[in-house]
Amino acid sequence: ILADMGLLDYATRTHPHLRRHLSVQGSATNYEAINLCRDLFGIQRAVLPRVLTLPQVEHVIAHTEVEIEVFGFGSLCVMVEGRCLLSSYATGESPNTAGVCSPAKAVRWQETPFGTAARLSGILIDEYKHDEPAGYPTLCKGRFAVNEETYYALEEPTSLNVLSALPELMRIDVAAIKVEGRQRSPAYVTEVTRTLRAAIDAAFADPVRFAPKPAWDAALGKVSEGQHVTLGAYQRPWK
């Protein structure tokens, strides 16, 4: 799974027998970019950034032979993966250089009389009350003072959850559902993959009458960032 064009070229020349997937960090949001990577590097699958609507995903799939993988659960990103340098302003590293947004070595949790303070390279990103769900500190999901008000200026901590959209993802021929694993615990990955596997099997068995089970929603809710879930861009009207 690669994003760097140089590494893709190297893998194509030296390991032609290996499957090559275009990472979400490759930032391919249209079929032209995906088909170019297919022609140049022989990619067999591409992971789409989390900014496309379902009709846009369907349009991409209809115009490429490359398998399309989409995110199904995990931290929702309002930026286009592969094009965001926001974290580099605080940490000196971006996802394209360090492989992660808000690298763990820059994250600090500090207990205060008021609750828990989340800092990124010493910068206060958010502060949570003792009984308030906390999200992983990223600049795009921080609470900041703007015009004398303190609020989530870009987006609240929330998680993408596509359970209710599984039949539609199947209909448009999405090849695979991607789950975040980087910087996640084994317990997180176990819970999410087990739940999604059960839901996908149920959707395949009866796509017409499929509906998410309360137990699935509860299981994913426990590991959701900020304990909020959404379909994100998949249900939004932007173009």
SS3 21: strand
What mean pLDDT is reported for the chain?
Answer: 90
The owner of tokens 């591409």 is 46
Strand locations in 99-210 (E)? 107-112, 115-120, 123-128, 143-146, 149-152, 159-161, 176-179
DSSP 18: S
pLDDT at residue 177, rounded to an integer: 96
* Selected residue with higher pLDDT from 152 and 216: 216
pLDDT at residue 96, rounded to an integer: 77
pLDDT at residue 238, rounded to an integer: 54
pLDDT at residue 182, rounded to an integer: 74
> Over 60: is that where the pLDDT of 46 sits?
yes
Q: Residue 12 contacts by C-beta under 8 Å, 6 or more apart in sequence?
A: 20, 40, 41, 42
For the ranges 2-11, 44-53, 188-197, 223-232, which has the lowest average pLDDT? 223-232
- In this predicted model, what pLDDT tens digit does every residue of 148-158 receive, in sequence order? 999 988 888 88
Between the CA of residue 177 and those of 10, 62, 69, 107, 166, what are the distances in Å? Answer: 27, 18, 6, 28, 9
Judge whether 133 and 226 are in contact, CB under 8 Å.
Answer: yes
Q: Ranked by mean pLDDT, which of 41-55, 90-104, 223-237 comes out on top?
A: 41-55
Longest dimension (CA), the chain: 58
- In this predicted model, what pLDDT tens digit does every residue of 72-130 receive, in sequence order? 998 887 788 888 888 888 888 888 777 778 888 899 999 999 899 999 999 999 998 88
* Selected residue with higher pLDDT from 128 and 63: 63
Q: Residue 89 contacts by C-beta under 8 Å, 6 or more apart in sequence?
A: 139
Between the CA of residue 40 and those of 13, 34, 43, 120, what are the distances in Å? Answer: 11, 10, 8, 39
> Over 80: is that where the pLDDT of 135 sits?
no
Strand locations in the chain (E)? 21-22, 45-47, 67-75, 107-112, 115-120, 123-128, 143-146, 149-152, 159-161, 176-179, 229-230
The model's confidence at residue 133, banded by pLDDT at 50, 70 and 90, is confident
> Over 90: is that where the pLDDT of 15 sits?
yes
- The mean per-residue pLDDT over the stretch 218-236 comes to 83
> Over 70: is that where the pLDDT of 239 sits?
no
SS3 161: strand
CA distance 33 to 3: 12
Q: Are strands 115-120 and 176-179 parallel, antiparallel or unpaired?
A: unpaired
Percent over 70 (pLDDT), the chain = 98
pLDDT at residue 1, rounded to an integer: 94
